[in-house]
Amino acid sequence: MTLDEAVPVAPLSPPRRRAAGDPVKTLLHRHRALCERAVDPLDIAAGLEAQGITDRTAARFRHRDVFSLAEELYARTPRGDEPAAQATDRPYDARALRGYGYSLLPGALALGAAAAGMPHAGPLTVLVTVAALVWPARPGRVAGGRFPAAVHLLAAAVVGWTVHRHGTDLGVGLALAVAPGHLLGAVFAARARRRLAGSRALEDFADGARPLLAGAVLAFTATAAGAAALAGTPLAVAVPLAALLFLTRLLLAHGASRGPIAAALALALVPTPMAVPAAAVWLLVHAVLVLSRASAHARS
């Protein structure tokens, strides 16, 4: 008996290679709706961030950051023959220009009503101010539903109570601040979007977005002070309230949750002189946290 006959040897088979898999394909299936409705990779990056995916998480999908991952997802998403309409980032397109025209109406109505001595000039200034300053700039991005009634009612209560205590001139000053608030909100959104396009990491975008927000808030505060001085109302009352409404409008326009906004407005109703400034500072801190995230600047 030979050795080969005594010890049968099984034929060697090639080593079984484990399938490498395609983690990006799994992610594509999981977020297919987001990828299909995205206008560009930036929208996917913002949506992924909103789902809790960070640059560190992207490394598990063999990408250096969320933006690189979003570019692959966008490229691998099947689309129809018709290209998606590109939304503009310019704050001076046709729809924005119409909005600027409408934003001049509250100040004009408030000034006219006050000059004519209308008996209901105070309530009118409250109505036009809340409708214009609080209503979001971009349709479809309203937070928490199609109509955030609680936020609007709280804003109306805050403005109405303050105008009742300090007179119609306060309402006129707030109404005059509507137009610069509309313009500065649009400019902030456009610049943040351009910053998002030039960023390669979420932290990089956040570091650039915070100064943009600070600049918008400071510019609005200065214009609100000018409007208050023109209307002849105390700056210490008008400016914090105008800033509170401006931050409310920014947050709603960028799809922020309405819970913290409503809480800040409720705080402003506390009968103490420091309630409105405290509410404005609180909402500013919240705005810095929310509006420095890429997910706040995705197109709707």
Q: What is the pLDDT of residues 44-71, one digit of tens each?
A: 888 888 888 887 888 788 787 888 888 8
Q: In total, how many domains does the chain have? A: 2
Q: Out of 49, 76, 103, pick the residue that ends a domain.
A: 76
Q: Is residue 37 part of a domain?
A: yes
Domain membership of residue 84 (yes or no) is no
Domain membership of residue 39 as a residue range: 23-76
pLDDT above 70 covers a percentage of the chain that reads: 78
Percent of the chain beyond pLDDT 90?
Answer: 32
* Burial annotation 152-164 (CB, 10 A radius, 16+ → b, else e): bebbbbbbbebbe
Q: Is the pLDDT of residue 7 over 80?
A: no
Same domain, 207 and 101: yes
Residues 103 and 226 in one domain: yes
Tell me whether residue 28 is exposed, middle or buried, using C-beta atoms within 10 angstroms of its C-beta: 0 to 12, 13 to 18, 19 or more.
buried
**Sign of the torsion formed by the C-alpha atoms of 55, 57, 62 and 68:** negative
pLDDT (0 to 100) of residue 147 = 47
CA 271 to chain centre: 30
- Please say which residue of 42, 76, 110 terminates a domain: 76
Confidence band, pLDDT 50/70/90 cuts, at residue 202: confident
Q: Check: CB of residue 254 under 8 Å from CB of residue 141.
A: yes
Q: Where residue 276 falls among pLDDT bands split at 50, 70, 90?
A: very high
Give the residue, 105 or 211, on which the prediction is more confident.
211
Same domain, 63 and 117: no
167, 67 Cβ separation under 8 angstroms:
no
Q: Would residue 87 count as lying in a domain?
A: no
Instruction: Tell me the pTM.
Output: 0.75
Task: Decide if pLDDT at 288 tops 70.
Answer: yes
Same domain? For 199 and 100 the reply is yes
Domain co-membership, 45 together with 164 = no
